[in-house]
Amino acid sequence: MDPWGLSTTALLAFVVFLILSLWMQGLKRGKLPPGPTPLPLIGNLLQLNLKNVAASFSQLAEKYGPIYTFYFGTQPVVVLHGYDILKEALIDQGDAFVDRPILALIEDVIKGKGVIASRGERWKQLRRFSLMTLRNFGMGKRSIEERVQEEAQCLVEELRKTNGQPTDPTFILGCAPCNVICSVLFRDRFKYNDEKFLYLLKLLNENFQLFNSRWTQLYNFLPAALRVYFPVKPKGLSKNIEEMKHFILERVKEHQKLLDPNNPQDFIDCYLSKMQQEKDNPQSEFDLENLIMTGVNLFGAGTETTSTTLRFGLLLILKHPEVQAKIHEEIDRVIGPNRVPSITDRQDMPYMDAVVHEMQRFIDLLPLNLPREVVRDTQFQQYVLPKGTTIFPLLSPVLNDSKEFPNPDQFDPQHFLDQNGKFKKSDHFVPFSIGKRSCLGEGLARMELFLFYTTILQNFTLKAVGDPNEINFKNDRGGFSNAPRNHQMCFLPR
């Protein structure tokens, strides 16, 4: 074969593709908000500093204002920057902004099943059911709070075994939130050295690494034609998700054998009962695939998020001994050394409440939020966003807003306290996002964070290995999610 001929054809095809993609961009641009001028094929990718994505978006907001269009390759994304515009979109026009985009990964592996990636009627049914179940409707006698309290005690026992020696708590802090999801979904927690549990943790860890890689995230936004040439294909990811699905399916089968629909004990029981109730309803989305993928979602969304926040928060406490002293004082006054902390203690513990809020604000775990998509052609401000436009409702600029939080770069619990030391709410507290599609696990996550921190600090004094002032987070930020490097610390029994 004539190699020349081949490459001429390829070149020609490339040029045609280029012209077409430019033309398509021009077409779409007409109605979208202005933004930096995109290059053919790569769009505005050169304007994105992969070491600090949120900062790149903030720089662009300085030039183009709170709403602008950014091209990931040929894919336009409308970026929302700041509290007012976020609220206008996700709350005031919430119904229009409620979909998730069909990203490459979702097409390939998730296939629109489960609660995170689904849309329309399927999402509505799964979301409503999951919210109800997580709010304790029909989960039997053991409340979700009791499950979290049980886990908090096990966590403390495990930390006690470190005998006050320097310890990297990453593994232990990863176990606890994962076990809470196990307890909610499967009824019981696992022992931290159970083989099944360790396997599950391994899968989750891999899953997180694969999902969070910057390349995977970029891959998501490449047009199909280019994905073929991309260095990493998320093969590892689909294998990983298949293994997670298999793990959950095994548990579902056990539940099916023992199911007593009148006496559901956990999420899977509730779902299987719902499936039976709805078996004659052709519109029902309650099938096994949606159950399994929702299970995968709860692990995927509820484990790493919470454990990273826990770990980051403990480092913040280490770095700020004056904060730890005040927390200890409040715990001793309100709970004392022996009683198991409960969520009703929170209203009597404004300082701890403020600390946990300030941790989440400062940590800025998901600076870019999860992407959304408009459900229909949407009139928004002076623009028309065509149906299917991808939206980035950024969280970082709201959490780091200096008008709401003086010195937003400082960790300071006073951001959430008034002059009398009472807890002060802020509508800028958006780590879980806002509106109808905000985090499904917000209630559970906030309960975990409060009970885990309070139980740990009731039992231990945290001590830094080395100078606490040397702990800094400068290089731990900037990705699609913010996580600190591993640190050792000592847990001294009180």
Ligand X SMILES: *[C@@H]1O[C@H](CO)[C@@H](O)[C@H](O)[C@H]1NC(C)=O
Residue 346 or 477: the one with the smaller Cβ distance to ligand X is 477
Residue 358 or 464: the one with the smaller Cβ distance to ligand HEM is 358
Binding part of the chain for ligand HEM, among 20-28, 211-219, 277-285, 296-304 by CB under 6 A, reads 296-304
Residue 408 binds ligand X (CB under 6 A): yes
Closest approach of ligand HEM to the CB of residue 447, in Å: 9
Residue 324 or 400: the one with the smaller Cβ distance to ligand X is 400
What is the arrangement of strands in the sheet containing 372-373, beginning at the earlier edge strand?
A: 67-72, 75-80, 390-393, 372-373
DSSP category for residue 6:
H
Closest approach of ligand X to the CB of residue 396, in Å: 6
Residue 402 binds ligand X (CB under 6 A): yes
- List residues bridging with 489 in a β-sheet: 167, 464
Q: State CA 278 to chain mean position distance.
A: 31
Which one of residues 58, 240, 290, 305 is an interface residue with ligand HEM (CB under 6 A)?
305
Instruction: Using the Cα atoms of residue 331, residue 333, residue 337 and residue 339 in order, give the sign of their dihedral.
Output: negative
For 113-161, the three-class secondary structure string (H helix, E strand, C coil) is CCCCCCCHHHHHHHHHHHHHHHCCCCCCCCCHHHHHHHHHHHHHHHHHC
Closest approach of ligand X to the CB of residue 251, in Å: 40
For helices 442-459 and 144-160, the axis angle rounded to 10 degrees is 40
Which one of residues 2, 260, 322, 409 is an interface residue with ligand X (CB under 6 A)?
409
Which one of residues 25, 273, 389, 400 is an interface residue with ligand X (CB under 6 A)?
400
Residue 438 binds ligand HEM (CB under 6 A): yes
* Residue of 426, 428, 408, 430 whose CA lies nearest to 417: 426
Closest approach of ligand X to the CB of residue 489, in Å: 24
Residue 115 binds ligand HEM (CB under 6 A): yes
Instruction: Using the Cα atoms of residue 356, residue 361, residue 366 and residue 372 in order, give the sign of their dihedral.
Output: positive
* Residue of 217, 183, 182 whose CA lies nearest to 54: 217
Residue 475 binds ligand X (CB under 6 A): no
Binding part of the chain for ligand X, among 53-61, 188-196, 210-218, 299-307 by CB under 6 A, reads 53-61
* Two structure tokens written together for 357: 């809020």
Determine contact, residues 240/206, Cβ cutoff 8 Å.
Answer: yes
Backbone angles phi, psi at 383, to 5 degrees: -115, 165
Residue 167 binds ligand X (CB under 6 A): no
Closest approach of ligand X to the CB of residue 369, in Å: 14
DSSP category for residue 108:
I
> Which residues would be at the binding site for ligand HEM (CB under 6 A)?
115-116, 127, 297-298, 301-302, 305-306, 309, 365-366, 369-370, 372, 431-433, 437-441, 444-445
Binding site residues, ligand X, CB under 6 A: 54-55, 58, 396, 400, 402, 408-409
